[in-house]
Structure 1
Amino acid sequence: MDVALYQPDIPQNTAAILRTARCFNAAVHIVGPAAFDLSDRAVRRAGLDYAARATLVRHSNWTSFLDAIGTRRTVLFTTRASTFVTEFAFEADDILLFGQESAGVPDDVHAAAGATVRIPMAADTRSLNLAVSVGIGLIEGLRSSATIQLKGLA
């Protein structure tokens, strides 16, 4: 199971996501363009030594990302979804897709997703931090895919 970030805006979030993904042996795909240089000091600082050891795959745009992943299913996390992440049947090879912090994903990317899910939240709230959302999504995806892929983790 991997994570994909669509045109991320905030380097500190991306660094935290790299760190989280590394802890669960997941690759992070950056679907460009990102709003910052991935070698930015903020990414290195927030990611600590985990970011340097994380698997980072860069794609210049949405089309190159789709070409690279082939038939793997993308599961888009969006507040527009009707299915809760806790009710969804993840597969071990899924790619968990998250949109920009400022704008989510455009309609064509939304329409191209293999599935959409949302994280349940209190009715009077509108969103979680992206790095927090990725952590929730990744552990729930791993747990529910029945492969949990936590072998070799302490």
Structure 2
Amino acid sequence: MTAEPDETGPTEWVAREEVGVGPWEGEWPSDERYDPELLENGDRRNVVDAYRYWRRSAIVSDVDSRRHPFHVAIENLQHDHNIGTVVRTANAFAAAAVHIVGRRRWNRRGAMVTDRYQHLEHHADVSGLVSYASASGLAIVAVDNTPGSVPVETVDLPRNSILLFGQEGPGLSEDAQASASLVVSIAQFGTTRSINAGVAAGIVMHTWIRQHADLKNAW
């Protein structure tokens, strides 16, 4: 079941005149991946140059052909504003999907429109996520600095996995922690008790990338 973003927040990366390209110059390409409206009016979207003028469906299809087998899940119990940032980072690393656990609606502001190209799923509670993981052969890796957690810097993350993050502040719920086959933490050396949830998600996703991704496929 697809998670619904709020209808608030920006619809593009920055002011339209500051990014992208103008109308296509010369004879139009015949490739069906190209969008006639974008060719005529220009492409001001937040996409890499390789996808300029492409239809959204063509972009999603191309990313689908090379997505990584890790998923990202985040609990949405208090309308966490970090979820948009997590979605944006998951898109950057070509995660298979992002799972919103708890409240269906989430604030898309931090996603910067990348949610249009990222598969999103919704689960009413942790048990729904667990059922999905079991049916899909995915190990749940919880991320929290709780007693008994293992430093992510010292472990090999499962290739086929769901990286599960909690709310900003309270962290993972007890159900979420109990659902995991592995709980990892991020090494800290300062005074703060925890790292921002969006930052933590980026660190752990990049750890997966360093361990498993083929860097020849990076832009």
TM-score normalised by L of structure 1: 0.84
Report what 2:197 is aligned to: 130
Q: Structure 2 regions of 5+ residues with no counterpart?
A: 1-69
Equivalent AA in structure 2 for residue 58 of structure 1: H
Please give the alpha-carbon distance, in whole angstroms, between the structure 1 residues aligned to 2:207 and 2:174.
25
Show structure 1 runs of 5+ residues with no match: none
Equivalent residue runs for 1:13-24 within 5 Å: 13-24=82-93
Residue 99 (structure 2) aligns with: 29
> For residue 67 of structure 1, what is the aligned residue in structure 2?
131
Is the 2:140–2:182 contact (alpha carbons within 8 Å) kept by the matching residues of 1?
Answer: yes
Moved over 6 A (4+): none
Q: Which amino acid aligns with 1:69?
A: A
Partners of 2:129 and 2:88 in 1: CA distance:
22
1:120 aligns with 2:184: no
Shift of 1:129: 0.8
The answer to whether 1:91 aligns with 2:145 is: no
Shift of 1:151: 5.3
Match of 2:118 in 1: 54
Structure 1 window deviating more from structure 2 (19-28 vs 8-17): it is 8-17
Tell me the equivalent position of 1:142.
209
Give the corresponding residue for 1:153: 218
Please give the alpha-carbon distance, in whole angstroms, between the structure 2 residues aligned to 1:111 and 1:64: 14
CA RMSD in angstroms comes to 1.9
Aligned length: 146
1:24–1:150 Cα contact (<8 Å) kept:
no
What is the CA deviation profile of residues 46-82 of structure 1, one whole-angstrom value per residue up to 9, with x for unaligned ones? 2122122111111111111111121411111111144
Structure number with bigger Rg:
2
Deviation at 1:104, TM superposition (A): 1.6
CA distance in 2, matches of 1:55, 1:92: 19
User: Which residue type is aligned with residue 64 of structure 1?
Assistant: G
Residue of structure 1 in register with 2:29 after alignment:
none
Aligned mates of 1:149, 1:93 — CA distance in 2:
15
**Partner of residue 59, structure 2:** none
